[in-house]
Structure 1
Amino acid sequence: METKKYPFSWEPGWSYSRMNVLRTCLRMYWYDYYGKRFAPERDRNRIMQLSQLSRVAFEMGIAVHQTISEVLKDLQINGDLIPLEEAKRTAVNKFEILVNNKPLVEKRYDIPFSEEDREERHGKIMTSMTTFYGSKWLTMIEEMPRETWNSWLIDPVGYGEFRMDGKKAYAKPDFIFEYRDNRHYLVEWKTGKPRRDENLVQVQGYLFYANDILGLPLESVVGVVEYLTFPSEKPIEVEGRLVNPMELKNKIMTELKLIESLCSNITENKPKDLDHFPKTEDLDICRTCKFREMCRPEL
Structure 2
Amino acid sequence: MKLKRFKYSPILGWSVSRYEVFQTCKRRYFYNYYAKYDSEFTREQIDFLKKLTTVPLEVGNIVHDIHKKLLERLQKTTQTLDSKRFDEYIYKLTKEYCENKTFAEIYYHQQTQIKINEIYEQVRFCVQNFLQSERFHWLFDKAIARSSEWLVEPDGYGETRINDLKAYCKVDFLFPVGDDDCYILDWKTGKPDKAKHAKQLAGYATWASYHFDAKPENIKSLVCYLSPEYTEVPVTVTEADIIHFAEQVKIETEEMYQHCTFVQENIPTIKSTFTLTENTKLCEYCNFRELCGR
TM-score by length of 1: 0.88
Aligned positions of 1:178-217 closer than 5 A: 178-180=176-178, 182-217=180-215
Give unmatched runs, 5+ long, in structure 1.
Answer: none
Matches within 5 A, 1:106-121: 106-112=105-111, 120-121=118-119
For residue 60 of structure 2, what is the amino acid of its counterpart?
Answer: G
SS at match of 1:14: coil
Separation (CA, whole Å) in 2 of partners of 1:68 and 1:145: 16
Quick one: which amino acid aligns to residue 30 of structure 1? F
Deviations 1:211-255 (A, max 9, x none): 2223323332122210112426x4222244475322222222222
Moved more, 62-71 or 211-220: 211-220
Distance 1:74 1:147, change over 3 A: same
Structure 1 Cα separation of the partners of residues 55 and 17 of structure 2: 18
Aligned to 1:96: 95
Q: How does 1:95-244 map to 2 (within 5 A)?
A: 95-112=94-111, 120-144=118-142, 146-180=144-178, 182-231=180-229, 234-241=231-238, 244=241
Paired AA for residue 248 in structure 1: F
Equivalent in the alignment of 2:284: 287
Alpha carbons 1:162, 1:168 under 8 Å: kept: yes
Provide closer, same or farther for how the CA distance between residues 145 and 288 of structure 1 changes in structure 2, counting only shifts above 3 A: closer
Q: Distance in 2 between matches of 1:189 and 1:111?
A: 28
CA drift of 1:59 comes to 1.4
Match of 1:61 in 2: 60
Per the alignment, residue 34 of structure 2 pairs with 34
Q: TM-score, normalised by structure 2?
A: 0.90
Question: Within 2, Cα distance between the matches of 1:145 and 1:43?
Answer: 50
CA contact (8 A) 1:26 1:278 kept: yes
Q: Contact conserved, 1:153 with 1:175, CA < 8 A, in 2?
A: yes
Runs of at least 4 residues of structure 1 off by over 6 A?
none
Contact map agreement 2:151 2:175 (CA 8 A) in 1:
yes
Instruction: Indicate the SS of the match to 1:237.
Output: strand
Q: Take 1:85 and 1:284, find their aligned partners in 2: how far apart are those partners?
A: 43
1:24 corresponds to 2:21? no
Are the structure 2 counterparts of residues 145 and 166 from structure 1 closer, same or farther at C-alpha, using a change threshold of 3 Å? closer
Q: 1:283 deviation in Å? A: 3.7
The aligned residue for residue 250 of structure 2 is 253
Match of residue 11 from structure 1: 11
Deviation at 1:152, TM superposition (A): 1.1
1:236 & 1:125 partners in 2: Cα distance? 21
| Counterpart secondary structure, 1:169 | strand
Unaligned segments of structure 2, at least 5 residues: none
- Aligned partner (choices 266, 276, 280) of residue 263 of structure 2: 266
Q: Secondary structure of the residue that 1:200 maps to in structure 2?
A: helix
**Shift of residue 111, structure 1, vs aligned partner:** 2.2
Shift of 1:28: 0.7
Distance verdict in 2 for CA 1:294–1:108, change over 3 Å: same
Aligned Cα root-mean-square deviation (Å) = 2.4
Q: Secondary structure at the match of 1:244?
A: helix
Deviates more, 1:152-161 or 1:221-230: 221-230
Question: 1:45-95, CA deviations, whole angstroms, 9 ceiling, x for partnerless residues?
Answer: 221222222222211111111111111111111222425665454334322
Quote the Cα distance in structure 1 between the aligned partners of 2:62 and 2:7. Answer: 31
